[in-house]
Amino acid sequence: MRLQQLFAKMFVLGALLPVSAIALPRSVPAMKDHAALSIFSRKQTIKLSFRNDSAAVLELRAGQRLLMLEPGKTTTLVLPLGIKVCFDKATSRRAAGAVVVTTARYLDQATVALD
Protein backbone atom coordinates (compact mmCIF):
# COMPACT_ATOMS: atom_id res chain seq x y z
CA MET A 1 0.00 0.00 0.00
CA ARG A 2 2.82 2.41 0.85
CA LEU A 3 4.53 1.62 -2.45
CA GLN A 4 1.38 2.56 -4.38
CA GLN A 5 1.13 5.86 -2.50
CA LEU A 6 4.77 6.61 -3.19
CA PHE A 7 4.32 6.05 -6.95
CA ALA A 8 1.10 8.10 -6.94
CA LYS A 9 2.88 11.03 -5.24
CA MET A 10 5.80 10.81 -7.67
CA PHE A 11 3.41 10.82 -10.61
CA VAL A 12 1.51 13.87 -9.36
CA LEU A 13 4.73 15.70 -8.55
CA GLY A 14 6.13 14.95 -12.01
CA ALA A 15 2.95 16.15 -13.69
CA LEU A 16 2.95 19.45 -11.79
CA LEU A 17 6.60 20.42 -12.28
CA PRO A 18 7.60 22.06 -15.54
CA VAL A 19 9.48 19.78 -17.90
CA SER A 20 12.48 22.11 -18.17
CA ALA A 21 13.01 21.99 -14.41
CA ILE A 22 13.26 18.21 -14.55
CA ALA A 23 15.10 17.70 -17.83
CA LEU A 24 18.06 20.08 -17.58
CA PRO A 25 19.76 21.59 -14.57
CA ARG A 26 20.37 25.33 -14.64
CA SER A 27 24.12 24.80 -14.91
CA VAL A 28 23.92 23.42 -18.48
CA PRO A 29 24.34 26.83 -20.24
CA ALA A 30 27.54 27.33 -18.23
CA MET A 31 28.88 24.04 -19.64
CA LYS A 32 28.70 25.08 -23.30
CA ASP A 33 32.26 23.83 -23.96
CA HIS A 34 31.57 20.42 -22.46
CA ALA A 35 32.54 17.56 -24.81
CA ALA A 36 29.18 15.78 -24.58
CA LEU A 37 27.28 18.96 -25.45
CA SER A 38 29.57 19.92 -28.34
CA ILE A 39 28.09 17.12 -30.45
CA PHE A 40 24.80 18.97 -30.64
CA SER A 41 26.19 22.48 -31.09
CA ARG A 42 28.84 21.65 -33.71
CA LYS A 43 28.39 23.52 -36.96
CA GLN A 44 28.06 20.96 -39.70
CA THR A 45 30.24 21.55 -42.73
CA ILE A 46 31.49 19.53 -45.67
CA LYS A 47 34.57 19.72 -47.87
CA LEU A 48 33.64 19.98 -51.54
CA SER A 49 35.93 20.32 -54.58
CA PHE A 50 35.07 21.95 -57.89
CA ARG A 51 36.97 21.11 -61.09
CA ASN A 52 36.71 23.24 -64.23
CA ASP A 53 36.86 20.97 -67.30
CA SER A 54 35.89 23.75 -69.74
CA ALA A 55 38.15 26.13 -71.65
CA ALA A 56 36.70 29.29 -70.05
CA VAL A 57 36.94 30.80 -66.58
CA LEU A 58 33.86 29.93 -64.51
CA GLU A 59 32.44 32.11 -61.76
CA LEU A 60 30.46 30.39 -59.01
CA ARG A 61 28.68 31.81 -56.00
CA ALA A 62 28.40 29.75 -52.79
CA GLY A 63 26.29 31.76 -50.38
CA GLN A 64 28.16 35.07 -50.13
CA ARG A 65 31.45 33.70 -51.49
CA LEU A 66 32.50 34.27 -55.08
CA LEU A 67 34.67 31.55 -56.61
CA MET A 68 36.57 31.87 -59.88
CA LEU A 69 37.65 28.59 -61.45
CA GLU A 70 40.50 28.69 -63.93
CA PRO A 71 40.37 26.14 -66.80
CA GLY A 72 41.73 22.76 -65.73
CA LYS A 73 42.06 23.75 -62.06
CA THR A 74 40.45 22.26 -58.95
CA THR A 75 39.42 24.32 -55.93
CA THR A 76 38.34 22.94 -52.56
CA LEU A 77 35.91 24.73 -50.24
CA VAL A 78 34.56 24.03 -46.77
CA LEU A 79 30.85 24.86 -46.86
CA PRO A 80 27.98 24.56 -44.38
CA LEU A 81 25.14 22.19 -45.16
CA GLY A 82 22.23 23.53 -47.22
CA ILE A 83 24.17 26.16 -49.21
CA LYS A 84 23.34 26.45 -52.91
CA VAL A 85 26.27 26.79 -55.29
CA CYS A 86 25.19 28.66 -58.44
CA PHE A 87 26.77 30.06 -61.59
CA ASP A 88 27.42 33.77 -61.02
CA LYS A 89 27.94 34.60 -64.70
CA ALA A 90 26.34 32.98 -67.71
CA THR A 91 28.43 30.63 -69.86
CA SER A 92 27.78 29.20 -73.30
CA ARG A 93 26.04 26.20 -71.67
CA ARG A 94 24.61 27.57 -68.42
CA ALA A 95 22.53 30.59 -67.46
CA ALA A 96 23.49 32.93 -64.65
CA GLY A 97 21.91 31.74 -61.41
CA ALA A 98 21.67 28.09 -62.47
CA VAL A 99 22.16 25.84 -59.45
CA VAL A 100 25.21 23.58 -59.64
CA VAL A 101 24.71 21.74 -56.35
CA THR A 102 23.11 22.13 -52.94
CA THR A 103 25.45 20.98 -50.20
CA ALA A 104 24.43 17.85 -48.31
CA ARG A 105 26.17 15.38 -46.03
CA TYR A 106 26.57 12.73 -48.77
CA LEU A 107 28.68 15.17 -50.84
CA ASP A 108 31.45 15.36 -48.23
CA GLN A 109 34.90 14.88 -49.88
CA ALA A 110 33.30 14.83 -53.37
CA THR A 111 34.52 16.56 -56.54
CA VAL A 112 32.06 18.32 -58.85
CA ALA A 113 33.27 18.42 -62.48
CA LEU A 114 32.01 21.43 -64.44
CA ASP A 115 32.20 21.68 -68.23
Please calculate the CA angle 97-67-110 and round it to the nearest 5 degrees: 90
CATH 2.60.40.780 placement within the chain: 43-114
The answer, yes or no, to whether residue 110 has pLDDT greater than 90, is: yes
Please write down the HEC assignment for all residues of the chain.
CHHHHHHHHHHHHHHHCCHHHHHCCCCCHHHCCCHHHHHHHCCCEEEEEEEECCCCCEEEEECCEEEEECCCCEEEEEEECCCEEEECCCCCCCCCCCEEEECCHHHCCEEEEEC
Fold of 43-114: Immunoglobulin-like (2.60.40)
pLDDT of residue 23: 55
**Average pLDDT value over all residues in the chain:** 81
More confident residue, 28 or 112: 112
Mean pLDDT of 51-66: 93
Whole-prediction pTM: 0.62
pLDDT of residue 31: 47
Please say whether the beta carbons of 45 and 90 come within 8 A. no
The answer, yes or no, to whether residue 73 has pLDDT greater than 70, is: yes
Distance CA 61, CA 84 (A): 8
The answer, yes or no, to whether residue 111 has pLDDT greater than 90, is: yes
